[in-house]
Amino acid sequence: GLSAAQVFKEEGRALTGAIKGTGLEDEHCIPQELVVGVIGVLEQILPQYLQTGAAFSDGGEDAFQSLLLHLASKIREYDLKFAELLNPSLRDSFYSQSPLSPLSSWGFGLLIRVLLREEYFEDWVEAESKFLEGKVEGIFGSPGAWDIATPSGNATPDGDFELSSSDATDHTVPDCVEQLCGVLLEYVNFSRSFPGMAEEGGGGDGRLVEFLDRLGGSVLEALFNKLSWRVDSYDPYGDTSRHLAIGATTSCLASAAHVEGILLEPSIYDPHTSRVPAFQDSAKGFVSHIKKWSQKLVSLVTKEFEGCGVVNLAKALRSLSTGDRRAGEVETTRADFLAIFDDLVVQLREARPRVSPDVFRVVWTSVAACVNNNLLNNVALGVDHSNGTAAEFVVLVSLIVSAFEEFTRRPKTYFKLILEASDIFSMDGGECGALLREVESLSDSESVGVLRARNIHSLSLFQATQLLSARGGD
């Protein structure tokens, strides 16, 4: 391997010297014998390279560098020299572009045409697969792999994918996810060097799809499995583990949205990658699991509220209504309930910058629906309201709706059930009893019309009559 590499370097120097000063205007003017010579050297190097590719590394390669790209970068060193000589006016643009951008990837043509040959392609992809397997394990196993980075990504106007540090997003993504995205984008951008050989009978398009499907698919599968494990790795019992589970779930949601936004969604609209099965399947899989993990986050955020806060509040109000507890004791329970509710709001507030706006909207609206339904069913309908319990409910509803003003300008839209229950509980006993008798004397459709006239639209007829009955005894 080393001797072959030395031969290649010497050949490169010879080619550079042969072209220097000739004034050639384009690459097609390079004498045919020189092109044949380069291809011949590649054919000598490649079999040994695929077996002993590590020998080409001097230990200082970039963290994302693969076996193939090490060789490609060496070839590019000479390609840039050729490009500079052939097109002096474009020197700055050649050197300012990413080595993996479409503008410079033309220089990989000779390498790619050799690699796509039947006798080399399978060995090449197999070598890259083995490299990736170790690379992925190394990234996940490195210290601080799950520390939070702040990446952003965009597709450039010329169609190239890139990671950018200038356009900051609100997402927070673990370092290992950012690194794997870098590996994937490196392969995608390098594959732009593949010649369009379908019309030439060379099968280049099919090979491109197979190349990205096998290599990209293996990275995406490993990432997906690791994220799934992270979401399910915490036993959500106890407050500490629940908060750890919330942090892990929001991190995985941000990671999935990042991969989807930076790679999978652009790949659907890019003719270069739109036919890659691994990208298509992963796009569907990530969308599905973003929904699943969003609901997992909702259940974690509301777990304490449902299992402890609402239950204890309902018990305290029942005891107050029967005279078993005094108002002062209920105030303590109310304070405990509000502390649990405040923690729920804090968890939403902390999750907000960690996930995408679309995901956060799903999460907070689902949490609001949970609060709305639990308070209606367990407190408004679950307590025989007397001795001031209805007034207690009205105060709590006002505090809860106000707390959600930081997430939406129209919080009342998401708490219609408990707001309408609060309106009923705000009526005096006589008014409430009169409305109940009127509703009970009419048909269902007429009763609904009467309730609508009172701005009771979301509660069912049964729920409204239950609340009117409960309020009538206060």
Backbone angles phi, psi at 143, to 5 degrees: -60, 135
Model confidence at 328, in pLDDT bands (50, 70, 90)? low
Please state whether 277 falls in left (phi above 0), alpha (psi between -120 and 50) or beta.
Answer: alpha
Query: Under DSSP, is residue 271 helix (H, G, I), strand (E, B) or coil?
Result: coil
410-420 pLDDT, tens digit each: 999 999 999 99
164-208 pLDDT, tens digit each: 333 334 347 888 998 888 888 878 877 776 766 444 434 457 888
144 alpha carbon, distance to own chain's centre: 20
Taking the C-alpha atoms of residue 57 and residue 255, their distance in angstroms, rounded to an integer, is 31
Contact 250, 351 (CB under 8 A): yes
DSSP per residue, 72-103? HHHHHHHHHHHHHHH-GGGHHHHHHS-TTSHH
Q: Which two tokens stand for residue 429?
A: 């006993």
Backbone angles phi, psi at 100, to 5 degrees: -105, 15
Cα-only R_g, the chain:
33
Exposed / middle / buried, residue 293 (Cβ in 10 Å: 0-12, 13-18, 19+): buried
The domain segmentation of the chain, as residue ranges, is 1-115
Contact 251, 148 (CB under 8 A): yes
Residue 57 pLDDT greater than 80, yes or no:
no
Taking residues 13-26, report their average pLDDT: 46
Q: Considering only CA atoms, which of 208, 187, 205 is closest in space to residue 196?
A: 205
| The pLDDT of residue 96 | 43
Q: What is the torsion angle, in degrees rounded to the nearest 10, for the CA atoms of residue 304, residue 310, residue 315 and residue 318? A: 180
The more confident residue out of 232 and 155 is 232
Residue 47 pLDDT greater than 50, yes or no:
yes
| Residue 148, beta-bridge partner list | 174
Residue 157 pLDDT greater than 50, yes or no:
no
Backbone angles phi, psi at 3, to 5 degrees: -65, -40
107-134 pLDDT, tens digit each: 455 566 667 777 778 877 887 787 788 8
